[in-house]
Structure 1
């Protein structure tokens, strides 16, 4: 009875509160949506597991890894409905809008897009704002409504690239609240227009070995707001053929798998029909397995590990260990430690040997196998 009485008193209080709120906030109404009235929808993938319509993505990496060249390659694929690094075709074809604060379209971005066989009629650059008789630079804090109107006017925008993404933050890019306030209009715009938002950023200095998401320059909010974080890296040591290996990895995903990636190379060439205009284009290589943190740690290694072993020694050790068949990663690392090889050097040797690394179920470990 006491419980029933307490509930009646509580309901009476809520009724009084509702009447008070109605009297004080006439004309203002907060809308609530009942969960049963919302129909579940699948993620709209442009590139399955890597690029999603209406979501924010971040591509980070150290200077010289070719982040902008990669972004131009992705833009080219969207503009033509071409193929992604895994061989699948883009599920969407449409317009691409680019806001760049670091590279000139004429001598840098257009040549890279042309080298990637982009449909240049579907590529647009955010230039300037004209207000009355004055011209000024685009300011996301003031001009997001104008951008939304222009995207709607163009129609069919599938990809919005912001390079660098920190240029969208008017305040301190190291403060979470200011980063969220600066990026939220862009995030909302991408959701409304159903286009993928790709922001490009650098790694902070002295962050080697840390989680790749934590290595992004500025506040952790950049990685937190992004639904997918992609990273690019370059091996610090040349391979056997004198080639510098490069890695494109998935470091975070709230929408699907958050590991794996692809090898890639940057090819320099003269642009056809434009003598003296040289540019770069991405040449994609085989798929690689493993967590981004481990793959990047291996790429950061120099010629010798902490114990003074050369990479050739480590490769021979790992090849011998796997010659009898697949082994669990934990077992490999324990054996390597006993033999005097660091975990990072083993990871790097595995990349050069192209070791196949597969996750054994949701709660299982990783199984390593030499390529057939």
Structure 2
């Protein structure tokens, strides 16, 4: 034993750590805790398995062409905690029932497609017989594949799930029945009464074990959550309770209803294991009236259905304090503004005019991308200009990572995520081609082509 090893052993001994364990790992006899290290070469990487992989079936061809990314794209990974949040009456619980229907019928695009799977529903606020079961019938849930999860104490007293105390009970049933989805509605009410849900560390004592349960069983756990009384537009920050709810979940969906026109919209605001959530389309949805027959008469319930791509995001709906401009309105305004200026205007003037019109920077950017506006820089000093693309020209705009419209399948990606830039030199036929610096480059703000037409400057001292 060399001096360094001896000193390490002496320090471990003084701290109560035993280095002479059978596997050579350090342990602390007083607590039974021991260290474990798994080196990076001991495990192989694996792809994410998506329980819900949106294939764009709810979108029109026109909407698909405007998307920044091609379908399909993952929304909910298997074996994770997801959150559906919104204000009262927006339809977040109806979304949970919609998801349950798809999984029990094997129609959800993703890893469960074509294989009907069982679902557990933890109902805390709504009546199972009067509210949830009629909604499930209207949504075409396979009733033989969905079960209400209760906790029984004192022989026949029904209790609701309490986390983390009942985690073992829940996991045992998830594994026994091969459950693919657990809906907890609402998640906050299932947190143990002794846990301070406004303290992140306290809340994590309930949510972290729940997330590990999902990971071990590969089931999706969908927690329904309410917004707090705040007036902001950041969906994740509006979830009632501590930041643990938004931090532990791997995917978060916001739901909102536009008070002005009644439109409903769902926006994914977190997608930790997949594509940037900003690139995922917001979806419009409807809650239509459905009549369900019962033994004691008919009952009216709401039925959730997607209606295609939404014109606005949940944040835009929440942040709207007046009439304002939505994406479709701003697109019409921008097209008219550029046409009135001969099809081209300076970027600064366009942004200023849009601001005076009450169009936000974010909405203006979306309108620019949707119209496939071409950005050019001319002269010295250079001036940035926005121009409408030539009519009926498919080659007027070269797609970039942030540009509307899907990338061709099989296209190679560079380190920035966009189509790999062609380097200067010659192609396989021997034909020279320019470098990106003297032809086209991608705009860092997305959705456009930058054409550099700056004239060469003479070197200092040259004639």
1:63-78 pair list within 5 angstroms: 63-78=88-103
TM-score (norm 1): 0.79
C-alpha deviation, 1:148, in angstroms:
1.8
Aligned twin of 1:249: 267
Alignment check: 8 A CA contact 2:162 2:191 kept = no
Query: Pick from 186, 193, 202: which aligns with 1:178?
Result: 202
What's the secondary structure of 2:333's corresponding residue?
helix
State the Cα deviation string for residues 31-51 of structure 1 (Å, max 9, x = none).
332221112111111112211
Query: Pick from 34, 39, 48: which aligns with 2:44?
Result: 39
* C-alpha distance in 2 between matches for 1:125 and 1:328: 61
TM-score (norm 2): 0.64
Alignment check: 8 A CA contact 1:236 1:302 kept = no
C-alpha deviation, 1:67, in angstroms:
0.5
Query: Pick from 9, 13, 18: which aligns with 2:7?
Result: 13
Q: Which has the larger radius of gyration?
A: 2
Aligned twin of 1:241: none
* C-alpha distance in 2 between matches for 1:54 and 1:328: 50
1:100-111 pair list within 5 angstroms: 100-111=123-134
Query: Pick from 148, 158, 172: which aligns with 2:171?
Result: 148
* C-alpha distance in 2 between matches for 1:168 and 1:99: 9
Query: Pick from 354, 358, 361: which aligns with 1:336?
Result: 354
* C-alpha distance in 1 between matches for 2:345 and 2:204: 44
C-alpha deviation, 1:300, in angstroms:
4.4
Structure 2 residue 223 is the aligned partner of structure 1 residue 199: yes
* C-alpha distance in 2 between matches for 1:45 and 1:200: 20
C-alpha deviation, 1:28, in angstroms:
5.2
Structure with bigger helix share is 1
Alignment check: 8 A CA contact 2:103 2:112 kept = no
Aligned twin of 1:127: 150
State the Cα deviation string for residues 92-116 of structure 1 (Å, max 9, x = none).
5311111121111111111111111
- Stretch moving more, 19-28 or 223-232: 19-28
Alignment check: 8 A CA contact 1:264 1:283 kept = yes
1:1-372 pair list within 5 angstroms: 9-18=3-12, 21-22=17-18, 25-26=28-29, 29-48=34-53, 49-83=74-108, 90=113, 93-132=116-155, 135-154=158-177, 156-170=178-192, 171-209=195-233, 211-238=234-261, 244-257=262-275, 258-259=277-278, 260-272=281-293, 275-288=297-310, 292=313, 295-298=314-317, 300-301=319-320, 303-305=322-324, 316-321=332-337, 333-337=351-355, 339-343=356-360, 346=363, 359-360=402-403, 364-367=444-447
Q: Which 5+ residue runs of structure 2 have no aligned equivalent? A: 21-26, 54-73, 374-400, 404-415, 418-442, 449-463
- Aligned-residue RMSD, C-alpha: 3.7
Alignment check: 8 A CA contact 1:329 1:366 kept = no
Alignment check: 8 A CA contact 2:95 2:304 kept = yes
C-alpha deviation, 1:90, in angstroms:
3.3
* C-alpha distance in 1 between matches for 2:329 and 2:182: 46
Aligned twin of 1:5: none
CA distance 1:16–1:289, shift in 2 (3 Å): farther
What's the secondary structure of 2:447's corresponding residue?
strand
Alignment check: 8 A CA contact 2:107 2:114 kept = no
The count of aligned residue pairs is 342
* C-alpha distance in 1 between matches for 2:120 and 2:214: 11
CA distance 1:285–1:344, shift in 2 (3 Å): farther
What's the secondary structure of 1:187's corresponding residue?
helix
C-alpha deviation, 1:273, in angstroms:
6.1
* C-alpha distance in 2 between matches for 1:325 and 1:99: 57
